[in-house]
Amino acid sequence: MKRAFPILGVLTAILLSYALYQALVVAPTDAMQGEVYRIIYYHVPSAWTAMLMFFINFIASIQYLTRSDPKTDRIASIGAIMVGLVLFVIPFFVKLPEGMRASAVGTTGLLIAGIYFLIRKLFSHADTDILAVVSAEVGVVFCTIVLVTGPIWARPVWGIWWTWDTRLTSTLILWLIYVSYLMLRRFSSSGQTASLAAALAVFGALDMPLVYFSIWFFRTQHPQPVLGGGGQIDPRMLHVWLLNFFAFLCFAFLVCWSRYRLEKLQREVNEAHAFESLKDAPRSAR
C-alpha cells in the first residue's frame, strides 16, 4: 500500500490538472453569468466532497459510540438497514418536492447503509475514532473552500457578498460545528474527549439535511439545483462538473489516507510512551 501512494498521488495530480484545464478552457461560458460561472466547477464539487466527509465522520462517530457494547452495536446496525430501506421505498409512497428525483432518494438510502457496513468491516472500534477525526479535518477544508468561493461568485452575480438565507446560514453553522469539533479534539485532555467529540459530531450531522433540503423547502437566494431533475445543464458543463468532483474525491482520499496513517502512528507512539512511563513509575517511587 505504501508503494501505491506515490503512484496514486501522481495520477491524482494529473487528474486535477486535467480537470482544471477542462473547467477554465474547454467548458463553455455560461450565457447569463459569463466567465465568473467557472468558479462553480470548484464550489459545487467542494460542497459535495465536504458533505461526504462529514457524513463519513457521522457514521464513524456513531460506530465509535455504539460498537463498545454488542447490544447497542446490533441496534445501530439494524437502524442503518432500516434507514436505507425507508429512503429506498419512500419515493413509491410519498410525493417528493419538485425537482427531486425518486432514483436519487433511493440511491441515497442504499448508499447510507452501504457506507455504514463498509466502515464497520474495514475499521476496528478504535480506528473508527481515527477515521472520524481525519474525515472531519478534510471536510472542514473543503467546506472552507465552499464558503470562500461562494461569495466570490455571488458578488458579481447577486451584487452582494453574502445574505443570511437558509442555505448559506446553515452551511456556515455546519462549518462552525465541525471547527468546534476539531478544537475539542485538539485542546481537550479529558479521557472522555473521543466520546464527547463523537456526540458533538452526531449532533452536528443533524444540520446536513437542512443544508441539503433548504433550497427545496425554503425560499432562498441560493440557486435551485440543476442536477437531480431540478433544471437543465449543458452536457459539456455536467461532464466537467463530474470530472472535478471525481478529482476532488481522489485528492480527499489521498489526504485522508496520509492523515489516517499519521494519526494512527501518533497514537501508537503515545501509547508506547504511556506504557514506558507506567513501567518507570515504580522505580521512581523507590
* Domain ranges across the chain: 4-27+38-279
C-alpha cell at 210: 437542512
b/e code 59-69 from CB counts within 10 Å (16+ = b): bbbbbbbbbee
At residue 76, the pLDDT reads 93
C-alpha 160 chain-centroid distance: 27
DSSP codes joined into one string, 148-188? HHHHHHHHHHHSSS----HHHHHHHHHHHHHHHHHHHHHH-
- Cell numbers 446560514 label which residue? 169
Q: Which residues in the chain show pLDDT less than 70?
A: 1-2, 97-100, 216-232, 280-286
At residue 267, the pLDDT reads 85
152-202: pLDDT as tens digits: 888 887 788 888 888 888 899 999 999 999 999 988 877 788 999 999 999
At residue 105, the pLDDT reads 76
CA dist list (Å): 183 to 27, 47, 142, 199: 40, 22, 17, 14
At residue 102, the pLDDT reads 72
Of 63, 51, 49, nearest in space to 202 by CA: 63
